[in-house]
Each structure stands twice: as C-alpha cells, then as structure tokens.
Amino acid sequence: MPYETIVGRTKEDLEKFGNKAMGYIGKHIVGTGEDAHLTTKVFIDLLRPHIILISGKRGTGKSYVAGTIAEEISSLPEEFKNSLAVVMIDTMGIFWSLKHSNEQQSNLLKEWNLQPKGFENVKVYVPFKQIEEFQKANIPVDGGISITPYEFSAEDWRLAFNLSATEKTGIALEKNVNELLQTEEKFTIEDLITKIRDDKETSLEVKDALGNMLTVANQWGVFGTQGIDIEKIVEAGKISIVDVSHLRATEAWSVRNFLVAILARKIYQARIIARKEEELARLTGEKIEKKFPVVWLIIDEAHNFCGTEPSVSLNPLLTIAKQGREPGISLVVITQMPNKIHQDVLSQCDLVFSHRLTSRDDLQALHAVYQSYMQEEIEKFINRLPRWPGTAIILDDNLEKVFTVNIRPRVSWHAGGTAAVI
C-alpha cells in the first residue's frame, strides 16, 4: 500500500505502523526558480525519539520549524499525545505565543487547509524573581523555576564561569565548592561567597574576583532553595516552555547553562527509571499508575549549551545525544551556526532541517553529519531552494534521502518575527 512521506521513520516502522503518530510539517517542492511548485505533504515521525538539528541563517525560520513540531506533537491523538511531553528552552522569549491562534495569517492557513489554533496545554516557566517583570509585560507566566547550588559539582561551577583548572580563581572556586559539598549540607550562593571570603589560603584579589562573579550570577534570580520538580515541568500531554530570554547579558550564560544542565540530567535520570518500569510492566503485565512521559527536549541557540567549548551543560546534553533515544528522549538543537555545535551531537543526528546557509564552515558541518552518499548533494540542494519563506532541505539518515520542503504555516501565532518601525 502507498504511504505518505514520513521523514525519520524507518522502513520497518513504516510497514508495521503505517501513518500512525506522525506530524504534518510541510509540502514537497518540485522544480527550481519560477518553475518551483508545491506537491505532496511531508510528515515527521513522532513515534520514535530522534536527534534533530535545525539550522539556517538568522531569520530563515529555525524557531518556526521547532514551533511547528511542537504544534504537531500537541495535535496527536490522545493515545499518543498523553505519552509525550515537550520541554522548550526559550532563549528569545518567543514560544509563549503557542498559546494564541494565528488569526493574522488566517487566509494563508486556508490555502493550506488549516485553521488558526492556540494550544491550551502550554505552560511558561520563568525564574521566580522575574515573574513580576513578565506579568508587567503581559507575557503569560504559569510558574516559577529555580535551581539549587548544591546540585552541581565543583567542576560544573568552574566550567560555568569558563575558568581554567590551573588558574588561581578556578582552583579556589573548586576547592571551596568541594569543601561545602563534603559537608553534605544544602548551601546557597551567599554561603559559597562567605566560604570563599573566609578562605585564608586564597588571595584577596582572587576572593574579590570570585565574589563579583557569584554576586552577579545570584542577581539573575535563578538560584533558590527548592530546586526543580522535574515531574512538574515534564507533564504528559503538555508543552513546558522554560523562558530564559531575560538572561541575555554575557554574565547570564553561566546561569542559563546551569539551568539547562540540571533539566537535562533530571530528564535523563527520570526516563532511565521510567524505561525500566515500562520493561518490567511488559514482563509482568502490570499497569503503571503514573508514567513519566517520553520527552522532546527542544533547545534554541543550542551552540551556547552543547557547543565546541566546554560548559556545564555540555556533558548532560552529550549523554542525551548519545544515549537518550533508548530510554525515550528526543533532542532538537536549533542554531544558526552548526559548525559551533559539538561534533558528538552532530554525529548522532538522524534528521537535519536546514534553511539557507552561506558560511563554508556551516555547510561543512552538515557534511560531517552524513556519509559520502549525500555530501555532494547538500550544498546543491540548499542553493536551489526557492526564495520563499519557510523553505528548507531535510536530510533523513534513516531513508538516506534529501527532501526539499516548504514548511507549513503555523496554526498558532509565531512571536519570533524581526521587529520593524511600522
């Protein structure tokens, strides 16, 4: 029997499951230039976990694609949707608009046989101390989020501030964090600052430098005393948006990385346990009362979290990239600079959505993802993309094919457009 094009779905799953648990993402583009036109629908496999790269120049539609995937997960039949959860790391403050229908493009949606729709299953989380700031801007917020300093190793702290293991500030920071961790007591940023200031083996210059770093980090309002309840953030059938867009200063990247690191660790640990429970239930026939869902972790500006340079969030994300699919975690990394994504993440990608790229280094990064059967084709396909909004190529390692696609319009409002004076 004929099947739709479902990127990411293996031939075996296509034969076994047909068109179940798939999401409508666009249409094939046939032809080039003025002769280009749209033909049949293209879907994405939502049955299995995937490692996905979404790349392209600024403004070409990377975040738009991520929002489209989230919409499709939320539009699945209940039997599938209630086994999935989406967690989006929002560095630009744009994904909250999934709550609102895309009435502004209702005519365009009609051309695609779609209707505007907002999603009620979307929850937005921001650092507790920033809730009031978001509310004043009329941005919907559903809850606060915080992390605890004692959940991170001494090396994590050093990496977060980009300190060398041999420089005096790095040595002093690791030493004092380790001493606090050895007490097995909970501690705050203020406790760590006090500990460093009381350290007789550390120079005043180093104390001042570390004190300033930690004070700035503490002012962003992310560190708290209650930590993250991962079962609250990761809810079956829900899209949880962790909005870190107001942490945009250079000093805030360390805090963002802490947040992404702990989320990735907790999701991975929870899914490892859930996977064992699922296997046990299959053997015994017992029903699991409360199941931790399969997770789609979507990260914008991912080069800052799993890039080529060491960071506190790198290892947890590498673990998910390498080992996350088996326990049930999809990882979607979004970037305008694929050459800045860690090679071990790129090598695990089974799907790539790429809008226009012009940098030779970025094109070469895509070449590194796939075997020689595609390498000469990638640049040719990208250069032949029509100059329409939302055009992209999809590299599918499961099918070993390249598809030229026009991403469908969003049914929910996309808040990520470029600002204009009119």
Contacts made by residues 204-209, CB under 8 angstroms, sequence distance 24+: 206/168, 206/169, 206/172, 207/172, 209/169
- pLDDT (tens digit, 9 = 90+) per residue, 292-301? 999 999 999 9
Per-residue pLDDT at 2 exceeds 50: no
Across 384-411, average pLDDT: 90
pLDDT at 211: 94
Residue 322's H or E segment, with its range, is: helix 314-323
SS3 for 310?
coil
**49-147+223-392 has CATH 2.30.30.30 classification:** no
Mean pLDDT of the 188-214 span: 95
Both tokens of residue 168? 């005096």
- Structural contact between residues 230 and 267, judged by C-beta atoms closer than 8 angstroms: yes
- Contact yes or no for 386/356 (Cβ under 8 A): no
Average confidence (pLDDT) over 29-45: 89
Confidence of residue 376 (pLDDT cuts 50, 70, 90): low
- The tens digit of pLDDT for each residue in 99-139 reads 999 999 999 999 999 999 999 999 999 998 889 888 888 88
Longest C-alpha distance within the chain, in Å? 76
Least confident of 21-35, 77-91, 225-239, 379-393: 379-393
> 248 or 127: whose pLDDT is higher?
127
Name the band, by pLDDT with cuts 50, 70 and 90, for residue 372.
low
At 248 the pLDDT is 62
Torsion sign across C-alpha atoms 306, 318, 404, 114: negative
Instruction: List Cβ neighbours of 405 (8 Å cut-off, separation of 6 or more).
Output: 25, 26, 27, 28, 29, 42, 391, 392, 393, 394
Report how far residue 12's alpha carbon sits from residue 18's, in angstroms, rounded to the nearest whole number: 10
Q: Band the pLDDT of 371: cuts 50, 70, 90.
A: low
Contact of 133 with 251, CB cutoff 8 Å:
no
Determine the pLDDT at residue 396: 92
3-class DSSP state for residue 32? coil
Q: Are 148 and 224 in contact (CB under 8 A)?
A: yes
Say if residues 267 and 284 touch (Cβ distance below 8 Å): no
In this predicted structure, the answer to whether residue 368 has a pLDDT above a threshold of 80 is no
pLDDT of residue 254: 80
Beta bridge partners of 351: 52, 396
Q: Are 243 and 99 in contact (CB under 8 A)?
A: no
- Beta-bridge partners for 395: 352, 402
Minimum mean pLDDT range among 137-141, 336-340, 409-413, 415-419: 415-419
pLDDT higher than threshold 90 for residue 379: no
Quick one: CA dihedral 94, 307, 55, 267, positive or negative? Answer: negative
CA distance 117 to 109: 10
Terminal-residue alpha carbon distance, the chain: 52
Cα dihedral angle (332, 336, 342, 347), rounded to 10 degrees?
A: 60
For 138-176, how does the pLDDT look when each residue is reduced to its tens digit (9 = 90+)?
A: 888 999 999 999 999 999 999 988 899 999 999 999 999
% of the chain exceeding 70 in pLDDT = 94
- Predicted pLDDT at 375: 56
pLDDT of residue 374: 59
Domain ranges of the chain: 49-147+223-392, 150-219
Q: Return the exposure string of 336-357: e unless at least 16 CB atoms fall within 10 Å of the residue's CB, then b.
A: bbbbbbbeebbebbbbbbbbbb
- Map residue 63 onto helix, strand or coil: helix
